[in-house]
């Protein structure tokens, strides 16, 4: 079983964490042992680092992309 890191925002429930973990396992077709940590900077959503690949679904990243897009105009 490989180990991966899952960072979630404060206030994320256990059901949500389980949803995220099971979804990754389903998509990747293997069991994964997630080390779950809370990170306030995410604001919302999660960041998962699996096998050297980062999957970023955090609110902070979305806001950063939005800011870059607005500043580019």
User: Among 27, 31, 33, 52, which residue interacts with other proteins (rule: CB under 8 A)?
Assistant: 27
Task: Say which residue the tokens 């389980």 belong to.
Answer: 18
Residue 24 makes contact with other proteins by CB under 8 A: yes
Residue 59 makes contact with other proteins by CB under 8 A: yes
**Under the rule (CB under 8 A), what is the footprint of other proteins?**
8-9, 11-13, 15-16, 19-20, 23-24, 27-28, 43-46, 53, 55, 57, 59-60, 63, 66-67, 70-71
């Amino acid at each position: 079983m490989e180990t991966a890191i899952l960072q979630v925002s404060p206030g994320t429930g256990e059901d949500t964490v389980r949803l995220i973990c099971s979804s990754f396992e389903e998509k990747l077709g293997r069991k994964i042992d997630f080390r779950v940590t809370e990170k306030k900077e995410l604001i919302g959503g999660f960041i998962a680092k699996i096998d050297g690949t980062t999957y970023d679904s955090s609110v902070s990243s979305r806001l950063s992309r939005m800011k870059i897009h607005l500043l580019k105009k």
